[in-house]
Structure formats: structure tokens, C-alpha cells
Amino acid sequence: MFSVFVLPAILLTKIFWAAWNLVARWPALKIIVVLGHTKCGAVRGACDYVEMGNLTALLTKIRPPVDDESTVNENRNSGNDEFVEKVLTINVKRTVRAIMERSTILKEMIEAGEIGIAGATHDITTGAVTFYEDTLIIKS
């Protein structure tokens, strides 16, 4: 049996981290895929520094990727598809790193080759899922 645990790239709350201990014990788990997606309202909102009530805390978590993006000099907002895509990529990669840094259990399992981890983006227009090779850790 091959089981894939897919999670949105943006859900980094405390409750979410606590749930990792349960995720790690799911026997069928083989790979964690941090999956971002194009045309993401949350990423776009963060690019525009939008504040939206309860969503503000969530959007604040995507702010570091927005600030990390340093190659786009003009139109650093959601109207610029190139900028949004670059922020999305940074967010996915940061999330993969954060999982490794913040969950000792998962890090150990990944390093022991018990499970794999990968970051990817789902293009919701074409349906294509592109994996970032530099985030891929799959040992066998």
C-alpha cells in the first residue's frame, strides 16, 4: 500500500504542529507532500499585505516568503503572476524546511528512510503537479 499525506503549504498553526505526532504514527504513511497551488487566494492576499479578520493570522505566516522574494522589483502584488508564483515556491520550500526543523519525530523518520518528504506545486489550470527537486528527500 502506498499512502500519500498531502497538506496545504500554508497551515502552520500550533494545533497543526501538535497533530504531527498522530500523523507520524499513521502506519500507511510513506510520503509527506507539501502541496502549494497556483491562484491561491491566501498567497495572493499575503502578496498584497491584506488584513482579513480571522485570516490575518494565517496571512501573516505567508508574509516571510513575500519578504524573502528578492528578484522581483516592480509590481510586488497579486496582480503580478510571476511574483505570486515565486512567493508560492518560497512558501512551499520554507514549509518543508519548517516540518523538518519543528517535528523531531518526522525528521527522524525521514532521515531513517521510513517516510519521504517533498514540496510541490499544483497548477490548477493545467492540473500538473511540479515537484521541487531540492525539497525531495526519499530514501529507500
State the residues that interact with Zn ion by CB under 5 A: 40, 42
**Which three cell numbers mark 108?**
527522524
Closest to Zn ion by CB, 76 vs 122, is 122
Closest to Zn ion by CB, 41 vs 113, is 41
Taking the CB of residue 101, how many other CB atoms lie within 10 A of it? 9
Closest to Zn ion by CB, 40 vs 66, is 40
Decide if 24 contacts 99 (C-beta within 8 A): no
DSSP H or E stretch at residue 7: strand 3-8
From the CB of 99, what's the least distance to Zn ion, in Å? 18
Closest to Zn ion by CB, 42 vs 99, is 42
Residues sharing a CB contact under 8 Å with residue 130, sequence separation 6 or more, in sequence order: 120, 121, 123
From the CB of 25, what's the least distance to Zn ion, in Å? 28
Decide if 25 contacts 110 (C-beta within 8 A): no
Closest to Zn ion by CB, 42 vs 115, is 42
The Cα–Cα gap between 106 and 124 comes to 29
From the CB of 47, what's the least distance to Zn ion, in Å? 12
From the CB of 34, what's the least distance to Zn ion, in Å? 13
Decide if 91 contacts 123 (C-beta within 8 A): no
Q: Which residue is nearest to Zn ion (CB)?
A: 40
From the CB of 109, what's the least distance to Zn ion, in Å? 27
